[in-house]
Structure 1
Amino acid sequence: MSDSDLQDAVIAAGSAIEQAVAVFMLHPETYGGSVAAGFENPLAGYVAGRGGVLGEASGTTVAAVFAVFEPTGLAAMWDEGVAVRGAAGAAQVYWEQTAEFGRKYLGDADGVDRLAALGEKVIAATPIAGLPLFAGWREMALADDAPARALQVMFVLRELRAGVHFGGLALAGIAPIEAHMLNKGPRYAAMFGWPEPYPDGADKRDRYDEVEQATNRRMTEILTAALEPAEVTELARLSTAALTSLKANVPG
């Protein structure tokens, strides 16, 4: 397998994992589960749930780690969310929601047990320096059943790539709102709480592309340190299959 083919497999796995976890995070069923768990504002449940592994931190600290959200609004949602169950309690609720979503919608996906096993090898072998959310989530106990475990493993891998990417953006001097505009545009900027007018960041396009390339290089290093080339390709195939299964099974 050529270096280019290997990196293409890493990119494919990362894209499928990001999209699959986003299906869970953004689904009305997940928001409803947060409300049922006592979070009157489901977005506060998301922020406290995803950030809860950071412990009883300040909203400012959590906003810095989340990186791409408008920080004042994010901090307010954190404070609202942790007031319900505390940081650890919110994280546990979100983790159980992740497991249940996988259990419900990944049961017929191809090779979810193997997907989980490959992902766990990557998680165990990856240094945690500079990756606080990844470090926190990899300490959480995984579900025993394969569909639930697979989505939880994908969740942790998503935090891994996000942490690598966010670090690269910060080093390149690309502001979060500029990254949104260079990536998915104003709709995503609004979704992450940023107010208009939006700087388009056009003068940093080359830098943004370089960060994306550096992220892919680093993720290739990480995956190939843990997996054989054939296993990287297998992870990409199984992640893509899991995403296809979610899209087919999850109600719109």
Structure 2
Amino acid sequence: MSNPDLTEATAAAGAAIEQAVAVFMLHPQTYGASVAAGYQNPLAGYVAGRGGVLGEVTGATVSAVFAVFEPTGLAAMWEEGVAVRGAAGASQVYWEQAAEFGRAYLAGADGLERVAALGEKLIAVTPTAAAPLFAGWRAMPLADDAPARALQVMFVLRELRAGLHFNALSLSGITPIEAHMLNKGRRYAAMFGWPEPYADGADKKDRYAEIEHTTNRRMAELVGAALDPAEADELARLTTAALATLKANVPR
């Protein structure tokens, strides 16, 4: 596989993984499970759950790591969330929710054992520097069954790519609001807590495209160090299939 082919396969896997984990994170069932676990505000359950692997830190620290959320609201949700079960307890609840979501909606997808095995191979050799959420989630114990384990591994890989992307974004001069507007637009800027008016970042389109290129290039370097070309292509193919299964099975 040539370098362009490796970059293409890595980008395909990254896109499928990002979307699959987003289905879990944004689904009403996940919010409902957070409410059932004691988080009256399910978004506080999300923030404390996802950020809990950082430990008992301040809301400002979590805001810095999450990078693209409006920081004041994000910090408030962190404080509300960790008050329920603490940081470690919140991350454990969220990890179990991811496992249950995989069991419910990924079962039957082809090659889930290979998704987990290839993803774990990549995770094991990837440096954790400047990727705190990846470092924290990498240390969490994985479920034994294939559907749960595959989604959890994809979760960790998503945090890896997100960390790389945020690092590139921080060096670019593009603000989080501009990044949202250049990526998915006004709805996402609002969803991440930012108030209007929104700077559209139209003069930074080329710079944002370079961030995506930089992120994909670095991910391809990491994939190339961990997997052979056939394995990289296999990971792309199987994660894309897993996403299709998830979308087909998840209630609308």
- TM-score band w.r.t. shorter chain: over 0.9
Q: Secondary structure at the match of 2:165?
A: helix
Q: Which residue type is aligned with residue 178 of structure 1?
A: E
CA–CA separation in structure 2 for the residues paired with 1:211 and 1:243? 25
**Residue type at the aligned position of 1:15:** A
Pair 1:194-2:189 in alignment? no
SS in 2 for 1:238: helix
Match of 1:133 in 2: 133
Indicate the residue corresponding to 1:175 in structure 2. Answer: 175
Query: 2:198, 2:173 → 1: CA distance?
Result: 17
Gaps of 5+ in 1: none
Q: Using the TM superposition, give the Cα deviation of residue 6 of structure 1 relative to its aligned residue in structure 2, in angstroms.
A: 1.4
Write the letter of the residue equivalent to 1:24. F
Tell me how far apart the structure 2 counterparts of residues 114 and 210 of structure 1 sit (CA, whole Å).
32
Aligned partner of 1:124: which letter? A
Instruction: Show structure 2 runs of 5+ residues with no match.
Output: none
Distance in 1 between residues matched to 2:102 and 2:128, nearest whole Å: 25
Q: 2:29 aligns to what?
A: 29
> Which residue of the partner structure matches residue 86 of structure 2?
86
**What SS does the corresponding residue of 2:196 show, helix, strand or coil?**
coil
Q: 2:11: which partner in 1?
A: 11
The aligned runs of 1:63-78 (5 Å cut-off) are: 63-78=63-78
Q: Structure 2: which amino acid aligns with 1:228? A: D
**Residues 86-165 of structure 1 aligned to structure 2 (within 5 Å):** 86-165=86-165
What's the CA shift string for 1:68-114, capped at 9, x where partnerless?
Answer: 10000000000000000000000000000000000111110001011
1:173 shift after superposition? 1.3
* Shift, 1:149, TM fit: 0.2
Moved over 3 A (4+): none
Equivalent residue number for residue 243 of structure 1: 243
TM-score of the superposed pair, with normalisation by structure 2: 0.99
Q: Distance in 1 between matches of 2:211 and 2:40?
A: 38
Q: 2: distance between equivalents of 1:201 and 1:169?
A: 13
Residue 12 of structure 1 deviates from its aligned partner by 0.3
Give deviations 1:104-153, integer Å, cap 9, x for gaps. Answer: 11110001011000000010010000000000000000000011000000
Q: Deviations over 1:179-213 (max 9, x none)?
A: 00111110100000000000011121111111110
* Deviation at residue 4 of structure 1 after TM alignment: 1.4
Deviation readout 1:32-71 (Å, 9 max, x if unpaired): 0000000000000000000000000100000000001000
d(CA) in 1 for partners of 2:81, 2:154: 24
Per-residue CA deviations over 1:5-49 (Å, capped at 9, x if unaligned) read 211110100000000000000000000000000000000000000
Could you tell me how far apart the structure 2 residues matched to 1:55 and 1:203 are? 38
Equivalent in the alignment of 1:228: 228
Letter of the 2:141 partner, please give it: A
Taking the aligned partners of 1:43 and 1:106, their CA distance within structure 2 comes to 24
User: In 1, distance between residues paired with 2:226 and 2:5?
Assistant: 17
| TM-score (structure 1 length as normaliser) | 0.99
- Residue in 2 that maps onto 1:185: 185
Q: State the match for 1:56 in structure 2.
A: 56
May I ask how many residue pairs the two structures share in their alignment? Answer: 252
| Aligned-partner Cα distance in 1 for 2:155–2:248 | 19
In structure 2, C-alpha distance between the alignment counterparts of 1:57 and 1:201, rounded to whole Å: 32
Q: Tell me by how many angstroms 1:2 deviates.
A: 2.2
CA distance in 1, matches of 2:178, 2:58: 25
Q: Quick one: distance in 2 between partners of 1:121 and 1:10?
A: 14
